[in-house]
Amino acid sequence: MMQGLDSYPPITYEANPPKVADLDQLRQQRKWETAIGYRIFAAMRWGQLGDGHISARDPLHTDHFWILGYGIPFAEATVDNLTLVGPDGRGVAGPTDNGINSAAYHIHWPIHTARSDLISAAHVHTPYGTPWAANAEPFRAISQEACALVFDQSMYHGDDLEVVSTAGGARIAAALGDNNVCILSHHGLLSGGTSPAQAVGIFVLAERVAEVHVKAPAAQAISEEAAKEVAVSLHAGDLGWRLFQWLARDLVPDPAVVLT
């Protein structure tokens, strides 16, 4: 097992995302985080209808990305059942017998193409993110967690809920801009990150923020000045990665499960 991926490192205030120079090991690190991310979503009962996807840019072929093989339940994700998808939407490694998740390709490939800084993107239909997106409104600073996102969000107002081409994904990528969260009108949430862990952590945070918005529709927002102070405190560059550490340990207590 490479890089100690069979166990989690201790959580400390000084902990930082791993820096992996070897590209083969970096590929394994990204696939490991992606597989655990899918299992986190499964533990939260997301993706049970076959909706949703997490992508991870391949460090060796940077115009390719990894996603869970089509037809495989999120709860069964492993590093070996991720599929490497090329620029033409075809699988070039990993399981391909069931085809490729076309929605994942149409959405994620344009995002990875437009944003060279993003290593991962995540999208799944959720109990609060989807209904909040039906309002076609951005988040407001109505909770501590919301302050971490209100200055790092965008809206996509297209009504193409079935993203059937990369042109649709390109419109989403344009709407995302340089943000890490995009609310897809009448569709749901989408997040991006500098690692799969970052994207998954930010996505779960966005869902928690959406829950507050749905449950407190008449909430009073705090001032922009106060929100910015909280955002500076919360929104460190590795916020999503740190959230992922807590989520993974709670919901996927044995990380070696994705290595089998």
Q: Give me the pLDDT at residue 1, please.
A: 37
Strands of 188-193's sheet, edge to edge?
91-93, 82-85, 65-68, 53-57, 120-124, 188-193, 181-184, 153-156
- The pLDDT averaged over each successive group of 10 residues in the chain (260 residues) is 75 88 97 98 96 97 97 97 97 94 95 97 98 98 96 94 93 97 97 97 98 97 95 81 96 95
The CA-to-CA distance between both ends of the chain, in Å, stands at 10
CATH for 23-259 (3.40.50.720, 3.40.50.2000, 3.40.225.10, 3.40.50.2300): 3.40.225.10
Are 109 and 65 a contacting pair, CB within 8 Å?
Answer: yes
Q: Give me the pLDDT at residue 4, please.
A: 78
Local structure of residue 56 (DSSP, 8 states):
E
User: Cα–Cα distance between 79 and 5 in angstroms, integer?
Assistant: 11
Q: Give me the pLDDT at residue 234, please.
A: 81
Instruction: Determine how β-strand 53-57 pairs with β-strand 120-124.
Output: antiparallel
203-208: long-range contacts at Cβ-Cβ below 8 A with a sequence spacing of 24 or more?
Answer: 203/122, 203/123, 203/124, 203/240, 204/40, 204/44, 204/243, 204/247, 205/145, 205/148, 205/149, 205/239, 205/240, 205/243, 206/129, 206/139, 206/149, 206/181, 207/126, 207/127, 207/128, 207/129, 208/145
User: Cα–Cα distance between 1 and 6 in angstroms, integer?
Assistant: 7
CA-nearest of 197, 164, 201, 163 to 181 is 201
3-state secondary structure labels for all residues of 93-140 = ECCCCCCCCHHHHHHHHHHHHHCCCCCEEEEECCCCHHHHHCCCCCCC
Q: Give me the pLDDT at residue 237, please.
A: 66
Q: Which residues contact 155 (CB under 8 A, 6 or more apart)?
A: 136, 137, 138, 175, 182, 183, 185
Longest dimension (CA), the chain: 53
Any idea where the domains of the chain sit in the sequence? 23-259
SS3 148: coil
User: Cα–Cα distance between 45 and 204 in angstroms, integer?
Assistant: 12
